[in-house]
Amino acid sequence: MNIENLLKTMFRSFFIIVTGIIASMYVFCLVFNPDASFSLHDIGGILMMAFVSDLPYLLFYSGKELSKKQMYIRKAIHLPVLLSVVLYFACLWDWINISHTKEVLTFVLLFLFVYIMVFITCKYQDKKLADKLNHRLRERYRSY
């Protein structure tokens, strides 16, 4: 991915992450802390978290188009890097208590669930489009 496309992707993902964090916080607090209230500082934290979560996207930077295999490798590196960044900041801002294993585990599972769901949804949509494109290609070049 070249730098222009990478920045576009990072910009778009920033807003997706903000939405994702708010939705995750809602579910997380609903389970563990239903009386939670949030301050201005927390809103800043959400924006900051979205920004730092965006940074591992830089792993996808490449001067030339990455092959399928290279993309899978970078994706496999991106997941643990992103999880580490998110966990670090979640602990730093007291969103989770590292000594509470259950809390950390729920947080990690929630993170993995969202990551995998997004991955599967995108893959499914791409597969559907690929089938359509293949069908059209066959139609087009059979008729000429």
Partner 1 sequence: MKIVIEELHDGEEDQIIIKCREMTDELIHLLAMIKLHDALIAYDGNNIHRLQPKEIYYIEVVDNKTFLYCKDKVLESKQKLYELENLLLNSDFLRVSKSVLLNLRKVKTLSPALSGRFEATLANNEKVIISRQYVNDLKKILGI
List residues binding partner 1 (CB under 8 A): 1-2, 5, 9, 60, 64-68, 71-72, 75, 122-123, 126-127, 129-130, 132-134, 136-137, 140-141, 144
Compute the least distance from the CB of residue 86 to partner 1, in Å: 20
CA 20 to CA 125: how far, in whole Å? 20
* Nearer to partner 1 (CB atom), residue 64 or residue 102: 64
CA-CA distances (angstroms) from residue 2 to 9, 20, 60, 119? 11, 26, 9, 21
Taking the least distance from each CB to partner 1, the nearer of 8 and 100 is 8
Q: Cβ 59 to partner 1, closest distance in Å?
A: 12
For 44, the token pair is: 């800043």
Identity of the residue, 2 or 19, whose beta carbon is nearer to partner 1 in the bound complex: 2
d(CA 84, CA 98): 13
Residue found by looking up tokens 């059979």 in the block: 142
CB 28 within 8 A of CB 113: no
Closer to partner 1 by Cβ: residue 41 or 69? 69
Shortest Å, Cβ 74 to partner 1: 9
Q: How far, in Å, CA of 69 to CA of 115, rounded? A: 19
What distance in Å separates the CA atoms of residue 20 and residue 11, rounded to the nearest whole number? 15
Structure tokens at 127: 């597969």
Shortest distance, CB of residue 126 to partner 1, whole angstroms?
Answer: 3
- Nearest distance, CB of residue 47 and partner 1, angstroms: 24
Which of 26/124 has CB closer to partner 1?
124
